[in-house]
Structures are given as structure tokens and as C-alpha cells.
Amino acid sequence: MSSETKSVKLYRVLILVVFIVALSLRIYWIEQKQGLHVDEIATHYVGTTDLYSWRDLHDTYHPKKIETFWHTLQNETDVHKNLKILAGLRKDNHGDITHTNLHYSIYRIWTAFSQKDSFTLKEFIWNGCLLNLIFFSISFIFMYKLLRLVFKDEKYIPLSLAAAFLNTGGISNTLFIRCYALQETMFVIFAYYFVKLWYCVSKKTTAKFTIALCLTMMTGYFAQIYTGILSIALFIRHAYDAVINNAVKNFKSTVKAIFDRVQFLLYATIFASILCVILYEHYFGYFDTIYTNDIIDNLNNISISHFWMTKIRVTSLYVHYIIYVVLLPFIIIAAAANSKAKADRVLLILILLTILWGYAVMHITPHFDARFILAACPIIALLGPYMLSKLSEKVFNPVQIIYVLILFLYAIFPIPQEASGHPNCVEIPNNIFRSNIEYTFMITK
């Protein structure tokens, strides 16, 4: 057996170890979880009843009435009734028009198979988080496939997977029984097909890209911005190639060459939009809501001070690992001294576009909430491994050990935050896990 074959086997063993550690950390924190955010209750409420309204939810689950809450958390197992519920979700999402119906529908199908008429607190937590663990596993598989496309050497893949899935933002997504774990999965899948189409356009890849585009758009309305940014990047990339490779340099032939190269994006967008409406009749109804007016107002009121405040807030979410702060100057110097590329440039483009999406969402969102961008954590976290891959091999090996160790310790001992100020929730005890990023407000029994 050659040394190269042995190295490949070692890296794949390390990849399995990373998966087991990431899965174990999630299971550990699920077991520690002792409360629910009010929105997690909404996930079950909207997915089970067609009598939805936020006022009803607040009145029913007000902290003063919390002792009666668990007696009302019922489940529906009858097949015909579940089909009726799914039909209602497809029609108007049971009135929750600020969200899409994809996660509610998947959650309803998943919960129906539990065959439980009602849940205890712990059963409810495990039911929802187990579904998120499935989403995490799918994310891990597609992230591995993506990294194999962009890294020339497989030895950088274990580190990249550790950065993507040992961060507290990703763990928080698994703990939160809402649409964000599903959105994280679809972001990774969409990014994978983005990279494939960046290299080469084929009918088979375009068909899969179209499905991924539809499902990503169905995870939430801010995901439209993400798919839009990446689609524009694909357009520019292939339009540029068309111009460069066009032998006849007149306007008409250039336009035709560009259209021939980018028409796959037009067809994918049209078919994906049609699929969205088929899956959810009220998909474009969001644009008639008050939230759209709030977004327009935010766009009209953007100022320099608003920009810098958003920049500070978002940057604080991205740069929360001490490894970046301590090693960043060293990494930049080492990269300048040894700048031989170990990863394809498309990876850096993907990371920067994802960060751009985060800034855009924080500028236009009606109210600041870190959860809106946590789905991008696995992709943004690849920035560290991308920079580290520029180090010489002699330096890279010890640095990656330190890097992963810090990630692991940070995931076990996250920086605590106090829960306060949320009108619909009871504060959880101080000893309960909260990510240093999000999900600090929860209802406990």
C-alpha cells in the first residue's frame, strides 16, 4: 500500500471522527436542553392547528399559564387529518404568511410518525431535535462533497468540516426546533451545486440545481437573497467566459454567446419559482405583508451610521472564535510568504458572497435577530481553514490541532449570556446551555 493511499485512508478516518464528535456534541446539548423558545412552540402549533395567530399563541402560552401548557401540546396521528393539515399548510400556511410552509410540512410528517398523542417536555425536545440531527447529517455529507471539489489536497477536508460543524452557531441550529437547521442544510446543498456549475454546466447538474434552488427558496424569504447573490455570481462568471471565448467581437454575436452560456440560470429560476408556488400557493403573498413595507423603509433609511452599526453587530457574530483574533496576523504573514494555492478560488468567492448575504439581511431585516443568518455558519466558518491552507505543511499540522481543540473546547464551554427582556418568554436557569450567539430566551416547565 502506497503512502498516498494510507494518507487518504487516514484523512477519511479523521472525517468520520469529526462527524462523530459533532454529532455527540449535539446529542449532549440536546440532553442538556430543558426549555423551549416561544417560536419552537409555534413550530408545533402552526404545524398542527389551522387556528393560528400570534395573539392566540401568546395568550395560550403566557408564562402565567405555563403550568397548563404541556396538557395542551397535543399531536395528530390520524392519516386523513394529517393530510388535511398538510393541505392547509400548502394553501396559506395556516395564516403564518411571514414564513414558508416547507419546514412546517416536514415537521408535521415527521411528528405524525411518532404515533404519540401528546408530548412531555423531553419528548418534544427530542422529537424536534432528532429531525434537526437528520438535517445536520445531510449537511455534513454535502459539505464533504463540496470540499472535495474545492481542495486539491484531501488533508484540508477534516479541518474544514470541524470548522463548519463544531461551531456554536451550527450547534444552536440543531438545538432550535425551527426552520433554521433545514435552511442550513439547503444552503450547503445549494452551495455545492453552485460550485459544480461554476466549473461546468450540464443538464443533469442544472436539473439538480433547480430543485436545490426551489427548496432553498422555500426555507425562508431571506434565502431568496442568498440564491439571488449566488445566481448573479454564476451569471457573471459564465457571461465573462462567453465574452472572452467569443471569436466574433460584434455586439449581436456577443449577446447571443452570453445568452447561450447563461440560459440555464433563466430556466432554473423560472422552474424553481413555479415549483415554489406548486408546493405553497401563497409563496409570493409575503410581499403583500407589513414586513415588506418595513424592509423598504429600512432600505430607504440606510445611512453611514446604520451601515457601521450593522457591520459591528454582524462582525461580532462572525468573529467569535479567539483563534481568528490570535492567529489572524500570523496567518496573513505566512500566507504572503507561502501563497501557493491549496484551494480553488471559488471557495473564497463562495465565503465572501455568503458574508455579503449576511450583511444584506442585517441591513433590511425588520428587527435584528442573529438567527436570520446562522444558517450560513458552516460556509462562513470555512474562511479559517481556507486561510490556514496557505500555511506551509510544517506549520499547518500543529496549527490545525490547536484550531480544532479551541473549537471543541468552545463548543463544550460556550460563553454564557443572560436571558432577559423577551416579552413572551420565561427566563431559563443560568446553568442551561445557550449559544453565545442566539436562542437565549426560552420557556421552561
Helices (H), 200-302: 203-217, 223-245, 251-279, 290-300
Q: How far is Cα 33 from Cα 171, in angstroms, rounded to an integer?
A: 12
Q: How far apart are CA 312 and CA 320, in angstroms?
A: 12
Are 241 and 199 in contact by the 8 Å Cβ rule? The answer is no
Amino acid at 258: I
Q: What does each C-alpha distance from 20 to 14, 24, 232, 383 come to in angstroms?
A: 10, 6, 36, 23
From the CB of residue 329, how many other CB atoms can be counted at a distance below 10 Å?
9
Per-residue pLDDT of the chain (445 residues; tens, 9 = 90+): 566 677 888 899 999 999 999 999 999 988 888 777 777 878 888 887 765 555 555 555 444 444 445 545 678 888 888 899 899 889 888 777 778 899 999 999 999 988 778 788 888 889 999 999 999 999 999 999 999 999 988 889 999 999 999 988 888 889 889 999 999 999 999 999 999 999 999 999 999 999 999 999 999 888 999 999 999 999 999 998 888 877 667 778 888 888 889 999 999 999 999 999 999 988 887 665 545 555 555 555 544 444 444 444 444 444 444 444 445 555 555 555 555 656 788 998 999 899 889 888 877 776 666 778 889 989 988 988 888 888 777 888 888 888 888 888 877 876 554 433 333 332 222 222 333 333 333 333 3
- pLDDT of 415 reads 58
Helix, strand, coil percentages in the chain from 3-state DSSP, rounded to 5: 75, 0, 25
Radius of gyration of the chain (CA): 23
Q: How far apart are CA 86 and CA 237, in angstroms?
A: 40
Provide the whole-model pTM. 0.84
Question: E strand or H helix at 308, and its extent?
Answer: helix 304-318
